[in-house]
Amino acid sequence: MSGILSPVESLKRGQELLRAGLENAALEHFASAHRARPEDARLRSYYGWAVATVEHRLERGLGLCREALRADGSCAEVYLNLARVLMTHGRKAEGIRYLKRGLMVDPRDATLIQEWRRLGMRRPPVLPFLPRRHLCNRWLGRLRGRLLRDFVAPRELVALEVG
């Protein structure tokens, strides 16, 4: 299908199709890109995501994503794809761990930040010796939220949340 496209163009087209909800077509483009350049970790991780998510072959997809991570641990997209595969298949804690690692590699990566925020991670209670629902924790938590929202830059806020 995408034989006339370069691997990078095929990857971009696959991402566009994915955003449009056409996962099977995206899988074909990711597979084509991976076949053309199997040593590229980024292409391998997208193909691994597609295999695990679209074809429901979890072990094969995880294997491809983990191979990509071993090949290039400096690419934030590799961490993101591995985290998405894990979270999609019910392994949220492990997925969150890889999201955090990805944010350590590239704290400004927009897709990692978006995925982190989508999870809606809760901060620990302000007073850990009291229950979360205690009036003091609720009141101080709201105050902390307002202060962080109003006085801390968004980049620093993500670093605080991940930290």
Q: Give the end of a domain, one of 106, 121, 136.
A: 121
- Could you read off the pLDDT of 44-102 as tens digits, one per residue? 999 999 999 999 999 999 999 999 999 998 999 999 999 999 999 999 999 999 999 99
- CA 124 and chain centroid, separation: 22
Query: Is residue 1 assigned to a domain?
Result: no
Query: What band does 132 get if pLDDT is binned at 50, 70 and 90?
Result: very high
pLDDT digits (tens, 9 = 90+) for 21-32: 899 999 999 999
**117 and 66 within one domain:** yes
Six-digit token string for 31: 């597979």
The range of the structural domain enclosing residue 145 comes to: 125-163
Q: Are 88 and 53 in contact (CB under 8 A)?
A: yes
CATH number for the domain that contains residue 65? 1.25.40.10
Overall domain count for the chain? 2
* 46 and 89 inside one domain: yes
* Chain centroid, CA 102 distance in Å: 8
What's the whole-model pTM score? 0.73
Helical residues (DSSP H) of the chain, grouped into ranges:
7-19, 23-36, 41-53, 58-71, 76-88, 92-105, 110-119, 135-151, 154-162
